[in-house]
């Protein structure tokens, strides 16, 4: 299974001189399974570059699944700029959840409308199938890829995804908050024994997380503790606050590795092949 990060930032795209190393685009991760299935998780601003790359390398139609953790803007704002949706022969299954009583398709389509954008969702040439899922559901993609979803603790909810294929396990939990007196048990269960866990690491300190608890995010130290508790092979910190600079992230990595040496910082452009070779962590 190959993982590629296209956007690792939370909340809002954050370009600039302080975010060059890890990147300023919002959430988007590409997964290619052993049987060559394309799975995209989240459609933050990072999906624009991925779309260009897919079009450039395609020999005909592009097909895949797009898993939407939740419809907060930083997870869907890139979708109208995902070039493959403008290709008539392309086909995507968009998977996610209803929110505030609105169907997923209605929320996704709600971005493509005046006064926000000059074209409509219904005018998109690609074949888009929207599938709503429930907590605990498992989908089968391709020959043998199992995608299990779980509701995580985040305002209005956020789906975590456990992707199992060809004996390897990748888990994505982008927006989640633990509790002062314990972990989000759904996350621990979902992440159990994963080869790689991508975990919310929005805040640079636990104090900050407690101060802004209502935002529903984690500090890096909680990500580390959850990774240890869930016995994962490797932890990738993810969904950094727009206020965290490259320099601050470098410092966080040093501190995180003192507690859990198998920690990495997700970074735009980073590629990881699973299963990992534990003698050399991805840089």
Q: Which residues bind Zn ion (CB under 5 A)?
A: 10, 72, 74, 175
We find the least distance from the C-beta atom of residue 71 to Zn ion, in angstroms, to be 9
CB 152 within 8 A of CB 184: yes
Pairing of strands 235-238, 145-152: unpaired
State which residue, 62 or 108, has the beta carbon closest to Zn ion: 108
State which residue, 7 or 84, has the beta carbon closest to Zn ion: 7
Tokens read off for 58: 């395609």
State which residue, 151 or 175, has the beta carbon closest to Zn ion: 175
Enumerate the H helices of the chain as residue ranges: 47-57, 104-109, 185-191, 206-211, 220-229, 246-259
We find the least distance from the C-beta atom of residue 219 to Zn ion, in angstroms, to be 15
Which residues are within 8 A (CB) of 73 and not within 5 positions of it... i.e. 6 or more apart? 12
Cα–Cα distance for residue pair 125/152, rounded to 1 Å: 34
State which residue, 30 or 74, has the beta carbon closest to Zn ion: 74
* Angle in degrees, CA 124, 125, 126, rounded to 5: 95
We find the least distance from the C-beta atom of residue 146 to Zn ion, in angstroms, to be 25
We find the least distance from the C-beta atom of residue 63 to Zn ion, in angstroms, to be 27
State which residue, 54 or 249, has the beta carbon closest to Zn ion: 249
Q: Which residue is nearest to Zn ion (CB)?
A: 72
We find the least distance from the C-beta atom of residue 244 to Zn ion, in angstroms, to be 14
State which residue, 152 or 230, has the beta carbon closest to Zn ion: 152
- Mark 144-157 as b/e (b = at least 16 C-beta within 10 Å): ebebbbbbbbbeeb
We find the least distance from the C-beta atom of residue 279 to Zn ion, in angstroms, to be 33
CB 39 within 8 A of CB 145: yes
Q: Which of 38, 28, 40, 97 is nearest to 62 (CA)?
A: 38
3-state secondary structure of 215: helix
Cα–Cα distance for residue pair 229/259, rounded to 1 Å: 12
We find the least distance from the C-beta atom of residue 42 to Zn ion, in angstroms, to be 8
State which residue, 41 or 124, has the beta carbon closest to Zn ion: 41
């Amino acid at each position: 299974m190959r993982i590629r990060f296209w956007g690792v930032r939370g909340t809002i795209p954050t370009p600039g001189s302080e975010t060059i190393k890890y990147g300023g685009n919002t959430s988007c991760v590409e997964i290619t399974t052993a049987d060559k299935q394309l799975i995209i998780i989240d459609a933050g601003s990072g999906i624009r570059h991925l779309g260009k790359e897919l079009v450039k390398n395609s020999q005909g139609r592009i097909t895949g699944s797009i898993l939407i953790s939740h419809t907060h803007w930083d997870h869907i704002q890139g979708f109208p700029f995902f070039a493959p949706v403008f290709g008539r022969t392309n086909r995507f299954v968009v998977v996610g959840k209803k929110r505030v009583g609105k169907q997923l398709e209605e929320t996704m389509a709600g971005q493509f409308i005046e006064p926000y954008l000059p074209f409509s969702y219904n005018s998109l040439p690609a074949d888009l199938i929207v599938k709503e899922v429930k907590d605990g559901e498992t989908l089968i993609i391709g020959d043998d890829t199992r995608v299990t979803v779980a509701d995580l603790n985040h305002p209005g909810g956020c789906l975590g995804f456990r992707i199992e294929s060809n004996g390897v396990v990748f888990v994505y939990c982008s927006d989640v908050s633990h509790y002062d007196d314990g972990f989000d048990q759904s996350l621990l269960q979902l992440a159990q024994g994963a080869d790689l866990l991508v975990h919310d690491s929005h805040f640079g300190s636990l104090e900050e997380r407690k101060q802004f608890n209502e935002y529903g995010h984690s500090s890096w130290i909680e990500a580390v503790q959850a990774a240890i508790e869930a016995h994962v092979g490797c932890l990738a910190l993810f969904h950094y606050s727009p206020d965290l600079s490259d320099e601050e992230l470098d410092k966080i990595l040093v501190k995180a590795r003192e507690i859990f040496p198998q920690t990495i910082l997700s970074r735009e452009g980073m590629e990881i092949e699973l299963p990992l070779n534990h003698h050399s962590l991805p840089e």
